[in-house]
Amino acid sequence: MSEGRLYYVMGPSGAGKDSVLRWVRAYGVSHDVLCAHRYITRPADAGGENHVALSEAEFVSREHRGLFALTWQAHGLHYGIGREIEHWLERGAKVVVNGSRDAYLQACERFPELHPVLITASRETMAKRLASRGRESSQDIAARLARSDAYLAPTGTLVIHNDGDLAEAGIALLGAITQTR
């Protein structure tokens, strides 16, 4: 059996990563694509992505037991990707994870053959999306947009613009995954 491939999806808040990944999760299963859930110390009903909600104590316990392939902290929360992705990769699956730009170097050290993907959108689109979800103040939104403006994608990163129809961005990501072998 051939070794699988890991697609590390990252991007700024408001770019629509979660929506694109939801689209790929719905349409990618027939293409042998598996989307990993993130484990997050955020309540399950907080909105946004479909994640596994953990208390901070449970997250730390799992982390100390080596149950995560990757972990990082952002915006006062703990994030993790479970070690199940290693099992999936060993069995030839195309695995997509919702990563973090700040954890990208850690991910490269752990999975040197990963394929980086940046999902982004125009500043105006991101500002509108961030305001509509109602979780950040105008100062927080401005800080997130400034961080996005300053970010330079690593060399070799597939960049997908998600300003228009969601299916277009989803097809671009799924197409890149299914064309690679």
pLDDT at 23: 94
**Position 4 pLDDT exceeds 60:** yes
Selection from 36, 106, 50 nearest residue 74 by Cα: 106
Retrieve residue 149's tokens.
């403006």
Decide if 113 contacts 77 (C-beta within 8 A).
no
pLDDT at 181: 47
**Sign of the torsion angle spanned by Cα atoms 19, 23, 29, 32:** negative
- Find the distance separating the first CA and the last CA of the chain, reported in whole Å: 13
Decide if 145 contacts 126 (C-beta within 8 A).
yes
Selection from 15, 17, 12, 18 nearest residue 151 by Cα: 12
Domain 5-179's class? alpha beta
Selection from 88, 86, 70, 89 nearest residue 78 by Cα: 70
As a whole number, mean pLDDT of residues 14-26 equals 92
- Answering whether pTM is above 0.75, one says yes
Domain boundaries defined on the chain: 5-179
- Cα dist. 51→2, 6, 168, 178 in Å? 29, 19, 24, 24
pLDDT at 30: 74
| Residue 19 DSSP code | H
pLDDT at 173: 96
List, for residues 34-48, the tens digit of each pLDDT value. 999 999 998 777 666
Host H or E run for residue 61: helix 56-64
pLDDT over 90 percentage in the chain = 76
Q: Phi/psi of residue 60, each to 5°? A: -60, -40
List, for residues 45-88, the tens digit of each pLDDT value. 766 667 889 999 999 999 999 999 999 998 889 999 999 999 99
